């Protein structure tokens, strides 16, 4: 089975030490390796980079870095990222 790992750059040293087959490193905040909440374009671009790497890598330990930066998506007051009901500030998961 071919594999590709998508992870934040904070883990770079640990991931390189593992000699994983393919790794996409993103310059994102921990816990958000694909991109910021609501930033569907960045999330898609990150996935596309991973899928390209699945096809193009020819040897183990292939690591690429996503260009660009982590950018939160500005939201209007009262607006949430997408339709997720748990996105409202102060609302707990089981609240």
Partner 1 sequence: MTADAGPGESFEAFKNSFSYGSRTDLTFKFLKHLSGEDAAQLLQELLRRLSETCDDGRYEQLVDHVCEWQRRAYAESADSGGSPWTYAEGPFTPLRTPVAASWLVLLASSGHFVDGDDPQPFGVEGMTQAEAVERIGEFLKIEPVLSAVPVDTPRERLRVRHGGYDIRGAEADPNVVLPLERLRELQRDGVVGELASPAYSFVGACAQTPLLKHAGLAWVARLREQRVAAAVLVPV
Question: Judged by CB under 8 A, which of 49, 68, 71, 76 binds partner 1?
Answer: 71
CB 47 within 8 A of CB 24: no
CB 49 within 8 A of CB 61: no
Bridge partners, residue 16, by sequence: none
Interface map 22-61 toward partner 1 (x if CB under 8 A): -----xxxxxxxxxxxx-x--xx--xx-xx--xx-xxxxx
Look up residue 29 and give its two tokens.
């905040």
CB 32 within 8 A of CB 70: yes
Q: Is 92 in the site for partner 1 (CB under 8 A)?
A: yes
Q: Which residues bind partner 1 (CB under 8 A)?
A: 1-14, 17-21, 27-38, 40, 43-44, 47-48, 50-51, 54-55, 57-61, 69-72, 80-87, 92-94
């Amino acid at each position: 089975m071919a594999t590709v790992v998508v992870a934040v750059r904070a883990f770079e040293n640990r991931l390189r030490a593992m000699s994983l087959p393919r790794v996409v490193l993103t310059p994102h905040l921990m816990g958000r390796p694909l991109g910021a909440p609501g930033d569907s374009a960045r999330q898609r671009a990150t996935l596309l980079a991973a899928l390209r790497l699945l096809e193009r890598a020819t040897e183990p330990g292939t690591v690429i870095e996503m260009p660009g930066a982590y950018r939160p998506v500005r939201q209007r007051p009262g607006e949430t990222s997408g339709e997720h009901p748990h996105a409202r500030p102060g609302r707990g998961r089981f609240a």
